Structure formats: C-alpha cells, structure tokens
C-alpha cells in the first residue's frame, strides 16, 4: 500500500498542471509510456504531427504569463489564421465576420439572414433548450447555416442536429453584431479576430528533441516529482479511499488523502466499486465521438498561404478540417516538405480498418485540391483520439453532473475535458487542475461548481 496525500489519475495537461510544483505531496498515475494525454506530438521520419490540432489560447492573462514563463520563451504568439471552404467561395474564419470572401449573392443572403436573426424576438422562456439546429438558425440565420454551420456540424457530430442541444459546445460560437457582419462583408475588409486571438504555439530551436504542443506537456511533466508512467488504474474504492493500478504486471494499491480523476467519466464510474448501477449505466450511455487524425507527410513545395487550418463543408469529404503543421511552426517538417493533418470525426465504436480510412482521406485530400502540383505523399499514419468530442444530447449534461457530484461527495474531483465530460480547451483544463491543487493544499473539500470558476 502506497500512502499519498494527493493522488492524480491521468497524466494529461489537467493532471500535470495540478501536480506540477507539488513536490512529494502529489503522485500522478498515467497509463501511457509518455505523459501529455491528448497533448502529444509524434515525429514520423522528421515530420512532426500533433495528435489533434492544438493551438494554446488563454482567457486568463495570469495563466498565460505563468505558462509562458514555464516554457522559457519557446511559446510564440500564433494568432489563428484559418479558412472556410464553402459551396459559395472561401472565407476567412470566423466566417460570420468575413463574408467578403463569398460570392456576392451568398454575401447578401447571409447578411439578410443575420439581420432577421438579430431582429427576431427572443424565444419564450420555458420548454427547455431548443434543438441545436434551431439554436444555430436563431443565431446566424438560414443562409449561413446552409453554407457552413449545418454541414460542418453534421460532419463534426455525426448525428442529426435536432438530436443535440446547445450546451457546453457553444462557448466558441461568436454571434456578431450586424454592424460587424456588414463591415466584414466587403471583399477587401481587413481580417478580424475570433474567440482565440491570444494564441500561442511552441517554436523551439531547430535541434530541440521535441516539437509541437507536446513541448507544453513535457514542461509541465518536468515539474512533477512523482509521475508513474505505464501504470493503469483498474479500480477506485471511494469508501476506502484507495485506487488499484497495474504497472508492468504488478498490482499497486494507493491510499489517498484527496484524489483528482481526469480519466473519462464513464470509465471512472465503471471503475468505482460502489457506484450505484443507475449512475454507472447513465455514464456508460453518455454519447461521444472519436477523432481520427490522418497524418500525411508530403515532399514538395509548401502550399502558398494555406492558413494554419481550413474547414471543409463538403459532406462528401471525410474530414472537417486540414491542419498545416508547418504554418504553426516552420520546422515541423524537413525543408523540402510539409505535413498535413486531416481531422476525421467518427462515432465511437467499431470503425473501418486504418488502411481504408487513410486511403479515403488521401483521395479526399486530392479532391479538395490540397495537394499542389509537384507534391507527393511519402508517408501516411493514423492516430485516434477516443473520446474526442463529448456529444451534447438532451439529458447528457444532467447525467454527467450527477456522476461528478457523486464522486465529489466522496472526495474525488472529476476534472479535465473528459473527467468533467465537457468541451474545454487546454488552458481551461490546466486552470481546473491548478484550482484543485490549491484547494487540496488548503484542505478545502472540492465541490464540482469550483471547476466552473476555473
């Protein structure tokens, strides 16, 4: 039995931020051989790929300054430059602020829809939230929905949009004032920022052993004194305050004072020996999507100004966006090449063989015109994130909250994107971890509502 004051389950950025600087008081248990969770970056023969698109953006200037100091100057400002490919032309993202990129008739229809949406009376109270498609229509009007929001969201969520509700996925939807939409509807209008302008990406020196967003995870991990890698949590006993894990075939039992759980909520509930069956079943039924990231190493001239990433609304293309890794950091590929990451959302569950997914993505890459003449794909790899997107259906939020409350009442804080079961960013996850550590250090019991303040 190992006695631990603060036990952290999961070595992603939430868990690492919580334990960083806690010295001997905290132990992090991580299943994988490398810390970072989703925030890891793979190198395939000199081509570097984040496991998913990762740009670090901050709402809190104090956390930004603290993170920049931690990374010792390698975190470079990287205001997003993204584009949207639609049936009516290419517009800068967020599209509602850059209608000038669209064909004239589409611009007029989008503005008309936005104007009607802006003037519509607020829906009456009561009756619960509208379906997600109705929410989008009321926010942006029909033309912008048909052009971008509907096809993009159908590809992302892989469900009819009337089966979803607007909940935790709406924080990054920017509803423009009509004046701002009009300003952006002139073809030569200057670009304007979205929700994540205060954004950064690591750009370490050429000979650095690690590139990409994993630089952040490694910097956090370097501040964690007790990080037990290749150690898989198997059982949580909240009544005894113990966690049983397996490391190299050996069983290790930890007894904790306080516990932070960043494992996906359904998995955590399944592992809790005394979880009420109804809660466990509700957690197991929480819908979610996986993301398959198809990483293509390309030899040939880099495309001219492709943007850091590009959204594709054509529903016959398997990916929602293409990420141009060398736009984030030019040294993410050899000088005579570049890397492109195709983000393919799928419903969780059995899926097509990797080779099939890669072959389809490669065909679609060519169809989308993303491989300029003189370029040749020299390698293709598939990386899966599952869960990647929690899905907001009616009742899902309440079920997740009931599970978190049950855990919190037993001294376990369920935090992080999958621990809380939410749609959150790296900085928000780090803020949650830090907040938990502060309250644990002060001996204050954790209440789930605390995370909302992070």
Residue numbers of the site for ligand FAD (CB under 6 A)?
A: 9-15, 29-32, 37-39, 52-56, 232-233, 262-263, 267, 291, 343, 385, 388, 416-419, 424-427, 429
Closest contact distance (angstroms) between CB of 432 and ligand FAD is 8
Q: In angstroms, what is the minimal distance from the CB of 428 to ligand FAD?
A: 7
Nearest to 433 by CA among 420, 443, 422, 74: 420
Q: How far is CA 295 from CA 49, 281, 343, in A?
A: 7, 35, 9
Q: Which tokens go with 401? A: 């909250």
CA dist 91 and 4 (Å) reads 53
Q: Which is nearer to ligand FAD, 29 or 99 (CB)?
A: 29
How many other CB atoms are found less than 10 A from the CB of residue 251?
10
Q: How far is the CB of 414 from ligand FAD (least distance, A)?
A: 10
Nearer to ligand FAD by Cβ, of 19 and 137: the residue is 19
CB of 279 to ligand FAD, least distance (A): 19
Residue number with CB closer to ligand FAD (181 or 275) = 275
Minimum separation from the CB atom of position 103 to ligand FAD (A):
30
CB-nearer residue toward ligand FAD: 47 or 389: 389
Minimum CB distance to ligand FAD, residue 389 (Å): 6
If you write DSSP's letter for every residue of 281-340 in order, what string do you get? HHHHT--EEEEEEEEEEEESPPPSS--SEEEE--TTSS-SEEEEHHHH-GGGS-TTEEEE
Contact 153, 160 (CB under 8 A): no
Shortest Cβ 381–ligand FAD spacing (Å): 16
Distances (CA, A) of 287 to 129, 142, 167, 350, 391: 18, 28, 14, 14, 5
Choice between 114 and 243, CB closer to ligand FAD: 243
Q: Which is nearer to ligand FAD, 51 or 107 (CB)?
A: 51
- d(CA 220, CA 222) in angstroms, rounded, equals 5
How many beta carbons lie within 10 A of that of residue 449, not counting itself? 11
**In this complex, which beta carbon is closest to ligand FAD, that of residue 107 or of residue 155?**
155
Calpha distance 245→243 (Å, rounded): 6
């Amino acid at each position: 039995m190992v006695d631990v004051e603060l036990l952290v389950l999961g070595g992603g950025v939430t868990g690492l931020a919580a334990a960083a600087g806690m010295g001997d008081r905290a132990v992090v248990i991580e299943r994988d051989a490398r810390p970072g969770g989703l925030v890891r970056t793979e190198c395939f023969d000199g081509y570097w790929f984040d496991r998913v698109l990762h740009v670090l953006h901050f709402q809190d200037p104090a956390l930004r300054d603290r993170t920049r100091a931690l990374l010792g100057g390698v975190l470079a400002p990287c205001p997003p430059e993204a584009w949207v490919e639609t049936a009516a032309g290419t517009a800068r993202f967020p599209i509602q602020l850059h209608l000038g990129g669209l064909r004239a008739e589409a611009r007029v229809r989008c503005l008309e829809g936005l104007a009607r949406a802006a003037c519509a009376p607020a829906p009456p109270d009561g009756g619960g939230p509208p379906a997600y498609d109705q929410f989008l229509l009321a926010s942006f009007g029909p033309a912008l929905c048909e052009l971008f929001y509907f096809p993009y969201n159908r590809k992302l969520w892989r469900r009819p949009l009337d089966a979803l509700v607007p909940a935790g996925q709406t924080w990054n939807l920017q509803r423009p004032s009509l004046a701002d939409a009009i300003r952006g509807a002139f073809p030569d209008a200057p670009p304007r920022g979205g929700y994540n302008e205060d954004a950064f990406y690591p750009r370490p020196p050429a000979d650095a052993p690690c590139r990409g967003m994993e630089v952040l995870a490694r910097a956090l991990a370097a501040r964690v004194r007790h990080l037990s890698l290749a150690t898989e949590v198997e059982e949580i006993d909240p009544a005894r305050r113990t966690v049983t894990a397996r490391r190299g075939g050996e069983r290790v039992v930890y007894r904790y004072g306080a516990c932070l759980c960043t494992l996906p909520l359904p998995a955590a509930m399944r592992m809790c020996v005394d979880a009420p069956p109804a809660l466990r079943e509700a957690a197991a039924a929480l819908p979610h999507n996986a993301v398959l990231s198809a990483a293509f190493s390309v030899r040939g001239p880099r495309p001219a100004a492709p943007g850091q990433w590009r959204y594709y609304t054509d529903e016959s293309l398997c990916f929602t966006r293409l990420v141009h890794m060398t736009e984030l950091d030019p040294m993410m590929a050899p000088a005579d090449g570049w890397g492109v990451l195709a983000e393919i959302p799928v419903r969780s569950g059995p899926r097509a063989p990797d080779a099939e997914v890669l072959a389809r993505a490669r065909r679609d890459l060519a169809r989308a015109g993303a491989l300029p003449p003189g370029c040749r794909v020299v390698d293709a790899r598939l990386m899966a994130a599952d869960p990647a997107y929690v899905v907001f259906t009616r009742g899902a939020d309440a079920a997740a909250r009931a599970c978190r409350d049950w855990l919190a009442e037993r001294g376990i804080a369920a935090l992080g994107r999958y621990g809380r079961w939410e749609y959150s960013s790296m900085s928000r996850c780090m803020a949650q971890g830090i907040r938990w550590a502060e309250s644990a250090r002060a001996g204050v019991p954790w209440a789930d509502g605390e995370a909302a303040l992070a």
